[in-house]
Amino acid sequence: MERVKVEAVTYAYRTKYQTIQALTEVSCTFEAAKMYAVVGESGSGKSTLLSLLAGLDLPAEGDILVEGESLRKMNRDHYRRDVVSVVYQAFHLFPLLTALENVSYPMELKGMGKKQARERARQLIAQVGLGDKICRQFPRMMSGGEQQRVAIARALASEGKILLADEPTGNLDTENEQNIVDILKKAAHDRGYTVIVITHNPEVAKEADCVYRMRDGRLEREERGA
């Protein structure tokens, strides 16, 4: 079942001095209950694609359809809150909130009771392999790997059907990496999420059901085993 359809999307960053063409006519589809990997060189436009999928901006040209509906016509606030969840390359945790507060934030935002949200957040933090003592720490006191996993926990907390992760294992050791990959795979296969993972790591890419390769802002499907 086709959940996300990207149709000839083009996107450019415009600064005062230059325009950087980040995506050029990217088309692809993502189905439910599958895990995708997007690979490619640094600067090829992976994160940009992910951001557009996350609804942080609209493509300059082309369109993104989610379950047949265009992002352009959707209330993107609701889309971001209820449909999609993201693990950013730079984590983007709230610096003034503790790990626990960061993770429970999306749940509280959706109206869950504070106590319940905390309870669930604790579970998620444990699930991504972090100890209980991390809960009360602020992001700036955590290691990169810890921050990354808190960010994953937060993404899982929002329970969006589309889970986007930008280098979710970049800072992790193999053991933790495998744990995260398992979590993501489970989310796709057991709970029907569409999981899209950007990665440099061939090990991670190997675990995906499907791999896309980004090259200079263009996307192509990578054949299995190649």
Partner 1 sequence: MMILCKSLLRMRRTPVRTVLFFLLVAMAAALLSTGGGLWKMCRDNMIYFESLFQTIATVEQKPVRIVKEQAWDWEKEKYTTYNSKEYGETIPLSVLDFEGADYISGPETRAWYAAYVPDYLVLDRNAGVSNAMVVEVSPVEDGIPAGPLKVEIKNMLYSYYPYNSPTFYFCDHDNPSPEMMYADKTYILCLWDGLRHGWRGSDPGPNEFVPWREIWSTQAAADGTQIPHTLSGHYMAEVTPGFYETKEGRQWQALAEELEMGYWKSVPVTATGNTNLIPMFYEGNTFLEQGRGFIPEDYSEGRKVCLVSRRFARRNEMKVGDILHLPLRYANYAESANVGGEGKLTADGEVYQVFEDGYWEICGIYDVVPGARTKGWAYQLDENEIFIPKTSIEHDDGGNIAAAGCMKGYTTSFEIPNGTIDHWKSLWEEQGIDGLEITFYDKGYSVLEDGIKRMKRMALILLVAGAVSAVCILIFFCHMFITKQSTRTAIERSLGLSKGQCTASLLSGILLIVLCGCILGSAAGYYGSETAAGQITQVERFDRQYSAGALYTTEDVEETTYMLVGNWQVGAVTGSLVAVLAAGIALTMIHKSLRKEPLALLSGREE
Ligand X SMILES: Nc1ncnc2c1ncn2[C@@H]1O[C@H](COP(=O)(O)OP(=O)(O)OP(=O)(O)O)[C@@H](O)[C@H]1O
Binding stretches for ligand X (CB under 6 A): 13, 15, 20, 22, 40, 42-48, 89
- Interface map 24-63 toward Mg ion (x if CB under 5 A): -----------------------x----------------
77 binds, among ligand X, Mg ion, partner 1, none (CB under 5 to 8 A by kind): partner 1
Q: Does residue 29 bind partner 1 (CB under 8 A)?
A: no
Number of H helices, E strands in the chain: 7, 10
| 127: partner contacted, choices ligand X, partner 1, Mg ion, none (Cβ within 5-8 A by kind) | none
Q: Report the candidate in 59, 54, 78, 76 with the shortest Cα–Cα distance to residue 7.
A: 59
| Strand 194-198 versus strand 34-40 pairing type | parallel
Among 1, 19, 73, 77, binds partner 1 (CB under 8 A): 77
Closest CA to 157 of 120, 209, 200: 120
Q: Which residue is nearest to ligand X, using beta carbons?
A: 47
Residue 169 is a binding residue for partner 1 (CB under 8 A): no
- 191 contacts 184 by C-beta, under 8 angstroms: no
Beta strands in the chain (DSSP E): 2-14, 19-31, 34-40, 61-66, 69-70, 84-87, 162-166, 194-198, 210-215, 218-222
Task: With beta carbons less than 8 A apart as the criterion, state whether 32 and 161 touch.
Answer: yes
Residues at the contact surface with partner 1, assessed by CB under 8 A: 13, 47-48, 51-52, 54, 56-58, 77-82, 86, 88-90, 92-97, 101, 105-106, 108-109, 114, 138, 158, 166
Q: Which residues bind Mg ion (CB under 5 A)?
A: 47, 89
